[in-house]
Amino acid sequence: MGELLENTHLHYRKLLKPSIRSVLKESLRVINYFKDQTLYEHNVFEILEEVIEALNNNIVLKRTYLEDFNLVKSRLERFLSNKQTFKELKSGSDKHKQLNLPYTIITTLYNKLENVDIPKIYSNYLKDELGKSSLSFEIVDDLTELLISELIYEGHNKQYLFNWGKGVFITDSTKIIYYCI
């Protein structure tokens, strides 16, 4: 799951919760490759399903961009529900026209996210969550995974981010009582 694919100077993390911007960018590339007849229809369907999954999994950005996420998700789900009609189209130009809507909405969301300070959104979300008494380690792990994926996407030093956890120490003030039997 922690496999790092490096095709360009930007990195795509294959995680349970990858960077939303990397998934959006990859989906745009897959659609373009399909239009260039380099990839197949099933590749387009697979990446659009990945976009929907990434939108569902990103709890931080979903809270901030709920309307945008819901719009993109609903349009992609509608497109994916019509797979058979898309496959039945004979002309490549007809298929390209059908792909214009998913391509346009993904591009719009991608551009919107590229123009905001994503780490600041994460830090604000973390501040809110860390103040709650019912915060679990699982939520902290999920949020950290999302944040690290976004930082890697932005080009921050991978080695530092991968080794970050080695320098984190947790002290527990509870006393351990050993019983001898």
* Residue 2 pLDDT greater than 70, yes or no: no
The pTM (predicted TM-score) of the whole model is 0.75
Query: Which residue from 98, 88, 87, 18 is spatially nearest to 53, judged by alpha carbons?
Result: 18
Of 8-12, 120-124, 141-145, the range with the highest mean pLDDT is 120-124
Going by pLDDT thresholds of 50, 70 and 90, the confidence category of residue 160 is: low
Residue 158 has a pLDDT of 61
| 153-156 LR contacts (CB < 8 Å, sep 24+) | 153/10, 153/11, 153/12, 153/13, 153/19, 153/21, 153/22, 154/118, 154/119, 155/9, 155/10, 155/11
**Where do the structural domains in the chain lie, given as residue ranges?**
3-164
Residue 112 has a pLDDT of 96
- Tens digit of pLDDT for each residue in 70-96? 999 999 999 999 888 888 888 888 888
